[in-house]
Structure 1
Amino acid sequence: MFENTPFVIAELSGNHDQNFELAKSMITAAAKAGVDAIKLQTYTPDTMTLDVRHGEFMVSESDSLWYGSNLYDLYAKALTPWEWHKPLFDYAESLGLVAFSSPFDLSAVAFLESLDVPLYKIASFEMTDIPLIQAVAKTGKPIIMSTGMASFEEIEEAIAAIRAIGDNPLTLLKCTSTYPAKIADSNLLTMADLAKRTGCSVGLSDHTQGIGAAVAATALGATVIEKHFVLDRSAGGVDAAFSMEPAEMKALVETCRSAKEALGTVTYGGSEAEQKAKKYRRSIYITQDLPSGTVLSDQHLKIIRPSLGLAPKHWSEVVGRTLASDVQKGQPLFWDLME
């Protein structure tokens, strides 16, 4: 599904602070960092929630980055204007990046289809929105879906909704839906189990700080890594606290690529590059000049490097044997030197 694995996505989210030139600068920096794709989010406050100012429409978790915020105002602050999508997509594509988005309602799917996006992302909080998932499946395009807080049964329901419509290429992302997420809450073994139980490609939507979880996920078979991106955390941004700066994203890309390359294949007997090094294993050598007819003892022999003589496993077979010819110190021992 992806030319590079892991396929690294820089999520712009609302870190552009609704500044178009800043958004373009973020895309430029992401491309220089070596990512494969940039992702936007396509919604308006009205497609996300109601303009209500009390109760459950307020962020009530005291440990949240957005504690005390009104949901409607928060989404108004974080949205990417829809008129920006095409110029940002075009700019990203001109830099060789894949450009796509997460739709949050049916109108967003229709809008993104008008832009002919190459794939779709279902956000973790939307993965129980079966009508949205069905609308995305009907496009026939690849889908990346964050599983977040979903139970395995809910994941199965979402997959079934897609498969009832089409055979869209599907990648499931392990995701911890806290912001920022604690590294200890990553539970990356779930990702590998998810691949085994569903047969889908898997990856990680990572909200931790740093690159450790992404590298570990790569080692466990992640084909996609998604990270929020910001030019400068100290300048703020709605998701800045758990977003990667350009130098960090570059390190993530390079380290994940190295981790993927290091996986290689199941190999015994050493790689091709190691074959020359085998000469520096140990073997049995003569330790002094000896005449023909000498009965070899452990005083005459030594197991040393290099490995041009008989292998050490033959030690008990050669001690006590009689030399058939004269030998010199430093000569590797072979069968034809003995009677």
Structure 2
Amino acid sequence: MELEFQIGSQWIGKNHKPFIIAEMSGNHNQSLERALAIVEAAAAAGADALKLQTYTADTMTLDIHEGDFFIEDPNNLWQGNSLYNLYSEAYTPWEWHKPIFDRATELGMLAFSTPFDETAVDFLESLNVPAYKIASFENTDIQLIRKVAATGKPLIISTGMASIAELDESVCAAREAGCRDLVLLKCTSTYPATPENTNILTIPHMEQLFGSMVGMSDHTMGVGVSVASIALGAVVIEKHFTLKRSDGGVDASFSLEPQEMESLVIETERAWQALGRVSYGPTEREQPSLKHRRSLYISQNLRKGDVLTRDNIKAIRPGLGLPTKYLDEMIGRVVSRDVSKGTPLTWEVI
């Protein structure tokens, strides 16, 4: 029996279309008006859920702008920022959560968030969110996982950077604290990620190893990796989302635009529909197409007693004569009656 559960009214599982999450993150650029426009664009594109991140700079780090608290790595997307300033720019004001969630609900979309500490969980509980997401960088924060799991609500955990041992500890902590409904998302915590560094063959292995549903938190550009992950068993796809990458923002450079999100929704559902079951032979819809195979036909007018040769029988379309595999066996046989050109060759003719 396939695993499945509901988040709000939406079913999650292999018997249901992929559950698509549009991650707003900091792409609102500190404008509530823009945040609400992102909600509207996500709903119009067909996303099932809109997700926020719930923290403040002070719940994430210390107000220090040097040393360990300053990003100097030239390969880091956020190089040249202190952690405190980065989180101050990216955070979603907590007073915005309710109007954002309300707008999503009005548009028929689920809305929930990623809490980054226990105060965020308490705040989100006051808003009665339908589910929780644990970010990759928090997937070893056992205290946070226990706090979220104790709500009894569905839990989605990104697995970026985590070893099997670390994931086992996190999954066990979630289960022991009361989590019944769990999805693990394969994730590569680089921004953007490259397809070569994504390793989605991990998806079925993770599913088998932990006995949970799996999905994809996809930081690559485009939709190809997400579509491919559906074929490997992913039931949830999470993608960062913005109105326009050129508008800038902390996560804009690796976020989907509305037309791309719409494509993600359509193509992942097509991939899911295409999985079907193991099947050989013509499907019911293919049955009419059988007549368009090649088969053996009389290609000249013949009289009773004429001998069949390669000059007077041909393997052609349509497929109403004998299968072409009998061609060699037919050569040298005698027709039993007069036959005209275009007659399908059957056993009754010889």
TM-score scaled by structure 1?
Answer: 0.95
Work out whether 1:172 is the aligned partner of 2:178. no
User: Alignment partner for residue 290 of structure 2, among 242, 262, 278?
Assistant: 278
Alignment of 1:1-339 (within 5 A): 1=5, 2-3=10-11, 5-338=17-350
Q: CA deviation at 1:163?
A: 1.8
Q: What amino acid maps onto 1:146 in structure 2? A: S
Structure 1 window deviating more from structure 2 (303-312 vs 210-219): it is: 210-219
Q: CA deviation at 1:218?
A: 2.3
Is the 8 Å Cα contact of residues 9 and 35 (structure 1) preserved in structure 2?
A: yes
Q: What amino acid maps onto 2:60 in structure 1? A: M
Is the 8 Å Cα contact of residues 150 and 179 (structure 2) preserved in structure 1?
A: no
Taking the aligned partners of 1:167 and 1:139, their CA distance within structure 2 comes to 8
Q: What amino acid maps onto 2:25 in structure 1? A: S
1:2-54 Cα offsets, whole Å, 9 max, x none, are 44532111111111122111111110111111111100011112221222232
Taking the aligned partners of 2:205 and 2:238, their CA distance within structure 1 comes to 19
Q: CA deviation at 1:95?
A: 0.3
Structure 1 window deviating more from structure 2 (115-124 vs 60-69): it is: 60-69
Taking the aligned partners of 1:316 and 1:109, their CA distance within structure 2 comes to 76
Q: CA deviation at 1:203?
A: 1.4
Taking the aligned partners of 1:114 and 1:250, their CA distance within structure 2 comes to 32
Q: CA deviation at 1:233?
A: 1.7
Structure 2 gap ranges (5+): none
Q: What amino acid maps onto 1:135 in structure 2? A: K
**Alignment: residue pair count:** 338
Is the 8 Å Cα contact of residues 57 and 84 (structure 2) preserved in structure 1?
A: yes
TM-score scaled by structure 2?
Answer: 0.92
Q: What amino acid maps onto 1:80 in structure 2? A: T
RMSD: 1.6
Q: CA deviation at 1:224?
A: 1.1
Structure 1 gap ranges (5+): none
- SS of 1:76 mapped into structure 2: helix
Taking the aligned partners of 2:180 and 2:60, their CA distance within structure 1 comes to 26
- SS of 1:279 mapped into structure 2: helix
Is the 8 Å Cα contact of residues 5 and 224 (structure 1) preserved in structure 2?
A: no
Taking the aligned partners of 2:149 and 2:295, their CA distance within structure 1 comes to 64
- SS of 1:303 mapped into structure 2: strand
Structure 1 window deviating more from structure 2 (138-147 vs 298-307): it is: 298-307
| Percent of paired sites with the same residue | 56
Taking the aligned partners of 2:254 and 2:261, their CA distance within structure 1 comes to 12
Is the 8 Å Cα contact of residues 99 and 117 (structure 1) preserved in structure 2?
A: yes
Q: What amino acid maps onto 1:225 in structure 2? A: I
1:179-207 Cα offsets, whole Å, 9 max, x none, are 12223211111223212322322111111
